[in-house]
Structure 1
Amino acid sequence: MKRVNSVVISLSVSMVILLTACGGNNEENTAENETEGGNYPQVSEMVADNEQEAIIHTNKGEIHVKLFPDAAPLAVENFITLSEENYYDGVIFHRVIENFMIQGGDPDGTGMGGESAFGEAFEDEFDDSLAHFRGALSMANSGPNTNASQFFIVQAGPDLLDEEDLLAANLPEEAVKFYMERGGTPHLDNAHTVFGHVIDGMDVVDDIAAVETEAGDRPVDEVIIETIEIIE
């Protein structure tokens, strides 16, 4: 079953913003990424030259994300291709866990379906510059190198994180800082491919995460991806 690192999660460990267009002074955008995000470009709300932008239109509102083709080229190509082919249109968020994540991308709506743009599962892409901070857009999988169409957005805040635990896990100090400030799911690092990050619309993600669910963490009332728009 394609799930975020299987059903087994540890909530004790698991756990804006103005959208800025790609135009304008590119050197300033890059500098902003470097100063605000340090080694983690996803922390910046700016969209740099080497990043791409998309809008996930849902029946709950819009979620704006930026994508990282340099760090995760296969995952970004897969997401863009499927989006442009309208693969995600009408697909639901089939698994929602408040203080953890929201998951969608399965056209069957069961959590067991979906196919990549390449016709087969593709390999994981782990990059030191990307982490599962709150707002991270990441690939769902059923084990190593099993990426297809399903993805999730991290919604967990910092409340359930412990700084000493993060340092003991040998996370970089800068990553620990951002996890403690922003929240996230550090136990998913190097298990799932982060390929994007929410730069506007986390309120929509929070609203989706808070919906009533039934067995299997499935929303009682469907939360639907109407379409995903790739910004050129």
Structure 2
Amino acid sequence: MRIYLVLFLLIPTTLLAQNRKKKDYLVTLTTAYGPMRLVLYDQTPKHKENFIKLVDQKFYDSLLFHRIIPLFMIQGGDPNSRKAKAGDPLGSGSIGERIPAEFVPTLFHKKGALAAARDNNPEKASSACQFYVVQGRVWDDATLQKQVERIQAMKGHVPTDEQKQVYKTIGGAPHLDGNYTVFGEVIDGLAIVDSIAKQPRDEMDRPVKDVRMTMTGDWVKKKKITKQFGYKYL
């Protein structure tokens, strides 16, 4: 009887796991400039699990995009930004242990990439909460080659020919590849990234007018995500 009971208990768990594989966690990041939808990569499980946990805990709600650099990226997630006053320096806040780097050569800093911020630790481990979204720029052959040389000097990941083509058409920030963990991407709302990146900023690259965020997440069927947003799963 015990064997049958164990098998009976395992069936719902197995079905749940199979059902979860058919779904993905869709993040909606909302600011005064509109919503962005993001997916998180399965190839970076530590970062994905951590980000889902924080979104479910409402950790990011009311935090700021505290650093914006046009044609580069917008950064947020500093817990110190929740009650920050105008002029307060931001960017050093954290909530605990760093996350080990998860560098995957096929995941790169194209426009819309979601990546983990970090300090200058030698392991290149990620902040447990701060992140950035790439705006980047479009590169031509000459300027991209200079970026490749910069990447080689930094011992990062040199983009493949296919990735170079993306950098020359869609754009991005190639010099960050292999030095910061990319763990997701914006699949809807790239124009919102552009809107935030062009806001007036002070000498510390903080927006003059606060850009606050809220985040929600929901498990959605992958087929629905593909149909609605055109995102293709590998």
TM-score, normalization: structure 1? 0.72
Alignment pair present for 1:134 and 2:111: yes
Q: Distance in 2 between matches of 1:50 and 1:178?
A: 27
2:54 is paired with a residue whose SS is helix
Alignment pair present for 1:155 and 2:135: yes
Gaps of 5+ in 2: 1-20, 82-89, 153-157, 220-234
Alignment of 1:60-209 (within 5 A): 60-69=33-42, 71-109=43-81, 110-115=90-95, 119-143=96-120, 144-159=124-139, 162-165=143-146, 170-209=158-197
Q: 1:230 aligns with which of 212, 217, 227?
A: 217
Residues 74, 193 of structure 2: 8 Å contact kept: yes
Residues 123, 147 of structure 1: 8 Å contact kept: no
1:111 is paired with a residue whose SS is coil
Q: Distance in 1 between matches of 2:201 and 2:148?
A: 34
Q: Distance in 2 between matches of 1:142 and 1:60?
A: 29
How far apart are residue 224 of structure 1 and its match? 0.4
Q: Distance in 2 between matches of 1:147 and 1:136?
A: 16
Q: Distance in 2 between matches of 1:98 and 1:216?
A: 13
Give the % identical residues: 37
Spell out structure 1 runs of 4+ moving beyond 4 A.
Answer: 48-51, 166-170
How far apart are residue 147 of structure 1 and its match? 2.3
Q: Distance in 2 between matches of 1:174 and 1:140?
A: 25
1:224 is paired with a residue whose SS is coil
Alignment pair present for 1:54 and 2:27: yes
- Cα gap change, 1:219/1:167 in structure 2, threshold over 3 Å: closer, same or farther? closer
- Cα gap change, 1:163/1:95 in structure 2, threshold over 3 Å: closer, same or farther? closer
TM-score, normalization: structure 2? 0.72
1:120 is paired with a residue whose SS is coil
Residues 50, 68 of structure 1: 8 Å contact kept: no
How far apart are residue 114 of structure 1 and its match? 2.1
Residues 117, 130 of structure 2: 8 Å contact kept: yes
Q: Distance in 1 between matches of 2:51 and 2:111?
A: 20
CA RMSD of aligned residues (A): 1.9
